[in-house]
Amino acid sequence: MSTTTPATPPSLPPAGRTATKDRPHGGVGDRFRLWWDALARPTQWLVGVPFLLFMAAVPLLNIPVLTTQGTDFGGVMAQFGMIALIAIGLNVVVGQAGLLDLGYVGFYAIGAYTVAILTSPDSPWNQTGDGMWLSREWAWLAALPVAVAITAISGLILGSPTLRLRGDYLAIVTLGFGEIVRLLADNLDELTGGGQGLRGVAYPRAGVTEDLPSGVFSAGNASGAVNSGVWWYWVSLVFIVVTLLFVGNLERSRVGRAWVAIREDEDAAEIMGVPTFRFKLWAFIIGASIGGAAGALYAGQVQFVIPTNFNIINSVLFLCAVVLGGQGNKLGVILGAFIVVYVPNFFLGRQTLFGIPIDGDEIASYKYLFFGIALVVLMIFRPQGIIPARQKLLTYGRELYVAARRSAARAAGRAPGRTEAAATTSGKESS
Amino acid sequence: MPALADALLTSATAGPLVHQSLIDFNIAGLGRNFWGLTVEGLTYGAIYALVAVGYTLVYGVLRLINFAHSEVFMLGMFGQYATLMLLGFSPSGNAYDKGILLTVLYLGIAMLGGMAVAGGAAVGLERVAYRPLRRRNAPSLVFLITAIGMSFVLQEFVHFVLPRLTGGTLGGVNAQQPIRLVQPEVQFSIFGAPVTNVTLVIIGSALVLAVAVDLFVNRSPFGRGIRAVAQDPVTATLMGVSRERVIMLTFLIGGILAGAAALLYTLRVPNGIIYSGGFVLGIKAFSAAVLGGIGNLRGALLGGLLLGVMENYGQVVFGTEWRDVVAFVLLIVVLMFRPTGILGESLGRARA
């Protein structure tokens, strides 16, 4: 509601909230963020690459409490990588451009089904047999750009009529679209195998050895520390890094500024000369193609697609990851994806937690109940998510942003009369 | 349904011989059974219309898509089922035969039970989830996400928690075994279309309820309050209308109608009582509300009937499995050409 009424008694915020209000950009992790933004780009890479390598090594390190017990940890991490990619894509649409898309699973499904239809032996359009134009070994990699292109086109097809609608209507129309895609997959039996799904989807044949006749990416590589789940996790990490670079650059470009303007006030943006429809469409198309890439990853990893994996509840789960982590913040939504994937798997098959006996399977089966409660509680108490997006001076670059934030912190926290140097050093210590 | 059998027959015989297309276009089937399909469509449409009123009233007053309204409907189904169990009925394969008067009485009590549960759930939902957000002046996206969260919570409550509370008799993974009070029997026919007693009950009760809610909103002082808040919340508050009370009343009316619709729906689809059973119906009812012009009471009623009928025609033309697709495509097409629905979107000014 945009209107306040005198009838509702003004709720007095607790002391902590008032303090946050006085500090306009206050929040958890701001010090870290200030420090990070102040680093030069090569230094950021110097810190980022080892961190990335550590993330890649997580499934191999067998960390005591972190490693899941009921399910294979590599598989869980592979799933996390995929959902993280989806969350980044959905974040472009929901977080950056402010368009609520409840049918994002539709793009994910289109990506997965494109790869499956091109490479599954069950499909009538299979291109991987003898004399066809795709070799069985590299069919997945060849089908990947096709999948991304087709989902981008489907984003265009869905977006061009519907993006003229207002926010609420858009949500429901996209919901309908997601459901239509699933029903198409279910009903077009001859093409998609209907409820039976499509089996034998191609995956990259790499690292073929005596022990692993079908390569490290095959579902047959199930035993040992470096199983197929870990390999797929690594592939999805590569995807995530590439996508983050792409989306990050977009964010700092004219496109990103237009998205922020549209998200904050569409009418004002339009009046200021932002072609809102075109940029909304771009957000939709880019989001869709990232979703398609994630779908292609999924199809290759599971090597089997079936309509029930693409129902609306997944769409809501993706949205949950984005909202939980913090809309508009790329790292936040990755954290959100991790929580959404990891927490249910953490409890699965776990009998004790820090010595306390628990029924992990029972807790894991309640996951949607907990996600629902988490969403409601989060929306009431922290609607911006765990790591919220911050408004930055995108145009003038990091240096000015950091300088402005430093001086704001100094003005808020320091007593007047200090020397400039002392203030700077103490500012650095507290950062 | 003879129309369905026809559709299946034509696809079975014509399919392999002629060109094997992915979708059948059975226009002839539509022509043959036009009136039968219309009556059947109106039956579903009446149910959509009642649920749609809940969406439209809440949207009119709060500008909020109450995504969890489908779960209010679902709880209504469980409410009327529990009432029937309290009255001593138990699930069995055959319909009870109590005579017309007693059956109507029992159905009436069950409907009241469903209305009580659904109405209570709707008001509780407003209290627990939406009121704190209103106090904080949250943006509409936050409301919508909360509604989705509550939808999860209510579904999973019936999925996992309710069977524990009731010793496994209510809720759980599977649909409830149906309790049948009425056996569908053909009473008479219009233009060759058979009309069953179930159809009569559904369309009759829906009509009565629709007229009642229309009178309530357009004639009663409470209704005037609702329309005033929908039109201009600030001025309405200055004129002495309690906005909070109006919001509660709106949720209550929506919940009560959803409870009534729940009973009517279970008469038509006795196997539909399941934790996930409200979801698709809710989306369709919302589509119906949008179709008629969301925020507009008569629009919701019109949209519901229209959607039910069109969906039924589409189901015969394209095949049963395309039923939901027809409904969603219809929604998208209508929004493209008339973004505010057929009758426009104002509850405040919707005084015919």
Residues B144-167: tens digit of each pLDDT = 888 888 998 999 899 888 888 888
Whether B61 and B243 have beta carbons less than 8 Å apart is answered as no
Tell me if A85 sits within 8 A of A239, measured CB to CB: yes
Q: Which residues pair with A198 in a beta bridge?
A: A305
Task: Share the mean pLDDT of chain B.
Answer: 83
| Domain around A255 | 72-312
How does pLDDT run across B53-68, given as a tens digit for each residue? 988 888 888 888 888 9
Closest residue by Cα to residue B286 from A166, A181, A180, A176: A176
CB contact residues (below 8 A), chain B span 152-211, against chain A: 152-157, 159-161
Looking at the domain assignment, is residue A147 inside a domain? yes
State how far the Cα of B89 lies from the Cα of B48, in Å rounded to an integer. Answer: 27
From residue A355, give the alpha-carbon distance in Å to each of A149, A358, B123.
51, 9, 42
Separation CA A315–CA B342 (nearest Å): 29
Q: Is residue B18 part of a domain?
A: no
- Pick from B149, B153, B159: which is nearest to A379 by CB? B149
Within an 8 Å CB–CB cutoff, is residue A191 touching chain B? yes
**Which residues are CB-contacts of A171 (< 8 A; sequence separation ≥ 6)?**
A100, A101, A102, B65, B144
A186 contact B CB<8A: yes
| 3-state SS assignment for residue B155 | helix
Restricting to A residues 5-24, those with a Cβ less than 8 Å away from any Cβ of B are: 5-8, 11
State the pLDDT at residue B350. 43
Name the token pair of B167. Answer: 């010793």
Report, in angstroms and rounded to the nearest whole number, the Rg of chain A calculated over CA atoms: 24
Residue B283: list chain A partners with CB under 8 A.
Answer: 172, 175-176, 179
In a domain, B115, yes or no: yes
Rounded to a whole number of angstroms, the distance from the CA of A56 to the nearest CA of chain B is 33
For chain A, the farthest-separated pair of C-alpha atoms sits apart, in whole angstroms, at 82
- Which residues of B are less than 8 Å from A375 in CB distance? 145-146, 148-149, 152
Interface of A with B in 89-148 (CB under 8 A): 98, 100
Instruction: Check if the beta carbon of residue A104 is closer than 8 Å to that of residue A292.
Output: no
Q: At B225, which helix (H) or strand (E)?
A: helix B221-231
| B257 CB-contact burial (10 Å; exposed 0-12 / middle 13-18 / buried 19+) | buried
Using a CB-CB cut-off of 8 Å, the residues of chain B touching A11 are: 135-136
Q: What pLDDT score was predicted for residue A279?
A: 93
Alpha carbon of B187: minimum distance to chain A alpha carbons (Å): 36
**How far apart (Å, rounded) are the C-alpha atoms in residues B167 and B155?**
18
SS (H, E, C) chain A: CCCCCCCCCCCCCCHHHHHHHHCCCCCCCHHHHHHHHHCCHHHHHHHHHHHHHHHHHHHHHCCCCCCCCCCCHHHHHHHHHHHHHHHHHHHHHHHHCCCCCCCHHHHHHHHHHHHHHHHCCCCCCCCCCCCCCCCCCCHHHHHHHHHHHHHHHHHHHHHHHHCCCCHHHHHHHHHHHHHHHHHHHHHCHHHHCHHHCEECCCCCCCCCCCCCCCCCCCCCCCCCCCCHHHHHHHHHHHHHHHHHHHHHHHHCCHHHHHHHHHHHCHHHHHHCCCCHHHHHHHHHHHHHHHHHHHHHHHHHHHCEECHHHHCHHHHHHHHHHHHHHCCCCHHHHHHHHHHHHHHHHHHCCCCEECCEECCHHHHHHCHHHHHHHHHHHHHHHCCCCCCCCCCCCCCCHHHHHHHHHHHHHHHHHCCCCCCHHHHHHHHHHHC
Q: How far does the CA of residue B151 sit from the closest CA of chain A (Å)?
A: 7
Minimal-distance CA residue of chain B relative to A99? B141
- Collect all residues of chain B within an 8 Å Cβ-Cβ radius of residue A379: 133, 138, 142, 145-146, 149
Give me the number of domains chain A comprises. 1
Q: Given the structure tokens 């009812």, which residue do they identify? A: B285
Give yes or no for A183 touching B (CB within 8 A). yes
Q: Is residue A4 part of a domain?
A: no
Q: Is residue A129 part of a domain?
A: yes
Cα angle, residue B250 at apex, residues B249 and B254 outer, rounded to 5° = 115
Task: Please state, in angstroms and rounded to a whole number, the distance separating the CA atoms of residues A374 and B162.
Answer: 20
The answer to whether the CB atoms of B153 and A190 lie below 8 A apart is no
- Chain B, residues 44-73, CB within 8 A of chain A, namely 62-63, 65
What percentage of chain B has pLDDT greater than the value 90? 26
CA A224/CA A240 separation, integer angstroms: 25
pLDDT recorded at residue A327: 83
Angle (nearest 5°) at CA A94 between A89 and A97 = 100
List of E strands, chain B = 186-190, 193-196
Domain annotation covers residue B19 = no
C-alpha–C-alpha distance, residues A276 and A282, integer Å: 10
Provide, as residue numbers in chain B, all residues whose Cβ is less than 8 Å from the Cβ of A374: 149
Q: Do B339 and A165 touch (CB under 8 A)?
A: yes
Asked, for residue B344, whether it belongs to a domain, the answer is: no
What is the per-residue pLDDT for B349? Answer: 52
Query: Is A119 or B185 the better-scoring residue by pLDDT?
Result: A119
Report helix, strand or coil for B175.
Answer: coil
Residue of A nearest to B154 (CA): A369
The alpha-carbon gap from A178 to the nearest alpha carbon of chain B, in Å, equals 10
Is residue A247 assigned to a domain? yes
Q: Which pLDDT score is estimated for A391?
A: 62
Whether residue A1 and residue B233 make contact (CB cut-off 8 A), yes or no, is yes
Where do we find the tokens 């949720």?
B251
B 214-273: CB under 8 A from A:
233-234, 237-238, 242-244
Q: Determine whether the interchain pair A173/B332 forms a contact, defined as Cβ–Cβ distance below 8 Å.
A: yes
Exposure of A21 by Cβ count < 10 A (0-12 exposed, 13-18 middle, 19+ buried)? exposed
Give the domain extent around B42: 26-337
User: Is residue A37 packed enough to be buried (19+ CB in 10 Å), middle (13-18) or exposed (0-12)?
Assistant: middle
Q: What would the two tokens of residue B117 be? A: 């549960």
In a domain, A304, yes or no: yes
Query: Would residue A5 count as lying in a domain?
Result: no
Alpha-carbon distance A143 to B347, whole Å? 51
pLDDT tens-digit profile, chain A (431 residues): 344 444 444 443 443 333 334 344 445 567 777 777 777 778 888 888 888 888 888 888 877 777 777 778 888 899 999 999 999 999 999 888 888 888 899 999 999 999 998 888 877 877 776 666 777 777 888 889 999 999 999 999 888 888 887 777 788 788 888 888 998 888 888 888 887 888 888 888 777 777 777 777 777 777 777 788 888 899 999 999 999 999 988 888 889 889 989 988 888 999 999 899 999 999 999 999 999 999 999 998 888 888 888 888 888 889 888 888 888 888 889 999 998 888 888 887 777 777 777 777 777 778 888 888 888 888 888 887 777 776 655 555 666 667 777 777 777 765 444 444 444 444 343 33
Tell me how many domains chain B contains. Answer: 1
Residue B343 included in any domain: no
CB distance B233–A5 less than 8 Å? yes
Q: What is the pLDDT of residue B20?
A: 47
- Report pLDDT for A316: 84
- Tell me how far CA of residue A2 lies from CA of A139, B200, B238, in angstroms: 52, 44, 17
* DSSP category for residue B295: T
Please choose, from the candidates A344, A335, A351, the residue with its C-alpha nearest in 3D space to the C-alpha of residue A365: A344
Distance of residue B52 Cα from the nearest chain A Cα, in angstroms? 14
Confidence of residue B21 (pLDDT cuts 50, 70, 90): low
Residue B200 has pLDDT above 50, yes or no: yes
Q: What is the CATH number of the domain that holds B95?
A: 1.10.3470
> Quick check: is B153 in a domain?
yes
In a domain, A201, yes or no: yes
Please, what's the b/e burial string for B99-115 (b: 16 or more CB within 10 A of its CB; e: otherwise)? eeeebeebbeebbbbbb
User: For residues A343 and A371, what is the distance between their CA atoms, to the nearest angstrom?
Assistant: 10
Query: For residues B29 and A302, what is the distance between their CA atoms, to the nearest angstrom?
Result: 42
Question: Given CB atoms, is B19 within the 8 Å cutoff of chain A?
Answer: no
Q: Does A368 touch chain B (CB under 8 A)?
A: yes
In a domain, A218, yes or no: yes
Does B285 lie at the interface with A, CB-CB under 8 angstroms? no
